[in-house]
Copies of this chain bind each other. A is one copy, B any other.
Amino acid sequence: MNSEPGIRPDLGDEPPDLRYAAYARNRLANMPPPADAEAFALAYHLLQLSYLLVTDLETRIHRPRGLTLAGFRLMFKLWLLGPTQPVRLAEISAMSRSAVTNVVNTLERGGLVERRPVPDDGRAVVVALTPEGEAAVREAFAEQARREREWFACLGPDERERMTALLSRILRARPADL
């Protein structure tokens, strides 16, 4: 499995989460169905990477600037899309409307976004970046882009594209009854 000859292929130098993953995969390989070692490994590595990336971006980039990752992601959407209704933001984020309310509340307290009434519909509001919010998202975006490059620098351009394509395929084939 490990391909370095002359070096003992043990796992002593692996991070604890990868050591655990390898151990769990081996245990599952000896269990009867529906246990599925390959599906487990894929799901585990996917969730673990996502978790580490989120935590890294949050603690290293956004928290020091007084933002959160959720707040940044919402502001980034507003930056690209312009003023947008919460229900629309919830839709493209696959998030609940109340989650959007919470994030917008936090951003509004910080003066980064504002709510505006919609003339044609008394129920609706749009969320819009303030000038301070636009400056904040622009700066945080540059730093996040640099950090993402670092994370994926270990893959070649073709590998990055293949990976994105595989992820897209799974997303497109998502179970209908989400």
A 49-60 binary contact with B (CB < 8 Å = 1; else 0): 111111110000
What chain B residues lie within 8 Å of A172 (beta carbons)? 14-15, 18
| A92 with B174: CB separation less than 8 A | no
Could you tell me which A residues sit within 8 Å of B by CB distance?
A: 14-20, 23-24, 27, 34-36, 38-43, 45-56, 77, 80, 91-94, 141-142, 145-146, 148-155, 157, 159-164, 166-175, 178
The listed residue (B14, B148, B169) touching A36 by CB distance below 8 A is: B148
Leading 8 A-B pairs by shortest Cβ distance: A50-B50, A45-B167, A154-B173, A20-B92, A39-B148, A34-B145, A16-B92, A16-B91
